[in-house]
Amino acid sequence: MATEGGGKEMNEIKTQFTTREGLYKLLPHSEYSRPNRVPFNSQGSNPVRVSFVNLNDQSGNGDRLCFNVGRELYFYIYKGVRKAADLSKPIDKRIYKGTQPTCHDFNHLTATAESVSLLVGFSAGQVQLIDPIKKETSKLFNEENSCQHLWKVDWNEERENESSKTSEEALVTVQRLIDKSRVTCVKWVPGSESLFLVAHSSGSMYLYNVEHTCGTTAPHYQLLKQGESFAVHTCKSKSTRNPLLKWTVGEGALNEFAFSPDGKFLACVSQDGFLRVFNFDSVELHGTMKSYFGGLLCVCWSPDGKYIVTGGEDDLVTVWSFVDCRVIARGHGHKSWVSVVAFDPYTTSVEESDPMEFSGSDEDFQDLLHFGRDRANSTQSRLSKRNSTDSRPVSVTYRFGSVGQDTQLCLWDLTEDILFPHQPLSRARTHTNVMNATSPPAGSNGNSVTTPGNSVPPPLPRSNSLPHSAVSNAGSKSSVMDGAIASGVSKFATLSLHDRKERHHEKDHKRNHSMGHISSKSSDKLNLVTKTKTDPAKTLGTPLCPRMEDVPLLEPLICKKIAHERLTVLIFLEDCIVTACQEGFICTWGRPGKVGVLSSPNQASSPGGTVV
């Protein structure tokens, strides 16, 4: 399809694309949506989000999928590239009244074939803990009264009307004593069965324990730690209650946060345009970065925790070095706000000196890819070697992706010429090996705070490849949290750290503000902050926010229009890529070598208006 007045090729919705690994192809039969497959009227609704969990059941089909569309929440068996999606039989479906789901997260640590814990955040500020397998609602947080079911329709397999299989419930918003603003992000604390973090559009973030209640009165807080533009408080109470900790940072909404792969650091992006990275244990600010323009909307870590990528209202993706605390590259490919960034842990190239150039058939290349996956642990060890003083160099290339409100999917490579501009490159690489690089981070130095570098690398030519790596190895835990324990906070509460530094919320920025509209005057206008804080307008040209000509400008490997409505989801799985748009369609893109294995006895047609 092509829009009127535009080039047909430019505006056509793509169903496949090619990278050096091979052909990625949309699998229409693996598409998930509401059972009626009707595009959702997304105007004024919250973004569609997707969460995955693997239950490790003996059937070999343990993947489960949760997604929200409007006021509805669905829970399906995810069959991926193996079989066609069966939308007539959701495991659980819920329709909410008075509020809408905004985000959700599975507890992978406790998930079994019989039970799974799912946190759901809502537009009215509540957080609900449910078990979609047992179809139970356990608890409701940030609500004075517990969740009251006005009615609940329990369905069974014998019901004739499959579409009526639903649990419909209303959340009674009597009084939200902790935070009345929309939940923007909710995640379980890595390695914990009971702790979770919740961010709100108010700019605050809270640590909860599912075992504790929220109390019937508004919480009273006691200052635990304070820094530049942030403060962390404990809940002052005779008995332990939620929230265990509260972070207050800067001004404006906290749009998203992400834990480092080892769970020791927390990266937060805010509407004030700042990335802030904290040591989660010691509640120390590790480093900051300022967007080129407007707010930051999304953030992710590289599989080894050494790099962080952000996206936002400046239409850019920005790569930030965790070790050096500085921007090392920006990528320009989107024509509107970037809504999601994610690393692909299954596509990376790690080669020691004098890498072997590959030549041969596609079958031979697929064998190489499988060999790469089998050597995942070896890959991580070589990643560590690349950052050691070993004389044998290792060549690294990382892959990450981004989707935006321009309905485009971009893939990027982060390569050695960007990561190590002052070191000689090894021989040219001809293929990207598929490997799992999600093992624990390497190269941590044990320091809770790293001083940002004073210099910015000299301007480099545009690059279409850029490696994504980065996980931080944290050092020993600080004693700061001992004070929290003395204040009545449980031992596990000390595991949370969110230091958010927010500036003035920019209301005038529109979706069509792209790089071509950025000027020094508009930047000055958008970067006004309170008098007690550093004026962000003065950060342009500093390591906090380098000028465009001071860092390499990346070009995407591919940039394809794949939907009619803005994209809100990008998830990399081992055999596919999952995307979703605001119309409520969750699409599966088979990786090279995975297309064609789909078993679809009853092939369903692709929903109109989403893909071609």
Mean pLDDT of the residues in the chain = 74
Task: Give the containing element (helix H, strand E) for 326.
Answer: strand 326-332
**190-201 pLDDT tens trace:** 999 999 999 999
Residue with tokens 């008098």: 531
Task: Give the containing element (helix H, strand E) for 385.
Answer: helix 376-386
Q: Tell me how many degrees the CA angle 278-219-195 measures, rounded to the nearest 5.
A: 45
- What backbone phi and psi angles, to 5 degrees, belong to 346? -100, -5
- What backbone phi and psi angles, to 5 degrees, belong to 339? -100, -30
Structure confidence at residue 426 as a pLDDT band (50, 70, 90): very low
Which of 99-108, 366-375, 381-390, 503-512 is most confident? Answer: 99-108
Beta strands per DSSP E along 353-477: 394-404, 408-414
- What backbone phi and psi angles, to 5 degrees, belong to 50? -130, 135
d(CA 377, CA 367): 18
d(CA 40, CA 351): 46
Number of H helices, E strands in the chain: 6, 33
In the structure encoding, which two tokens stand for residue 316, read together? 């850019």
Specify the higher pLDDT residue, 591 or 373: 591
The stretch 131-155 carries a mean pLDDT of 65
Specify the higher pLDDT residue, 483 or 568: 568
Q: Diameter of the chain by CA atoms?
A: 70
- Judged by DSSP in three states, 497 sits in coil
Q: What SS3 string covers 549-592?
A: HHCCEECCCEEEECCCCCEEEEEECCCEEEEEECCCCEEEEECC
Specify the higher pLDDT residue, 228 or 207: 207
Specify the higher pLDDT residue, 439 or 311: 311
In the structure encoding, which two tokens stand for residue 473, read together? 């190895």
The stretch 392-403 carries a mean pLDDT of 82
pLDDT above 70: percentage of residues in the chain: 63
Structure confidence at residue 9 as a pLDDT band (50, 70, 90): low
Cis amide leading into 467 (omega within 30): no
Structure confidence at residue 396 as a pLDDT band (50, 70, 90): confident
pTM of the shown model? 0.75
**442-461 pLDDT tens trace:** 334 434 333 333 333 333 33
- 178, 101 in Cβ contact below 8 A? no
Residue at 146: amino acid letter: S
The stretch 530-557 carries a mean pLDDT of 81
Position 236 scores a pLDDT of: 86
**315-341 pLDDT tens trace:** 999 999 999 999 999 999 999 999 999
d(CA 303, CA 441): 7
What single DSSP character describes residue 83?
Answer: B
- Find how far residue 509's CA is from the centre of its chain: 23
d(CA 570, CA 340): 6
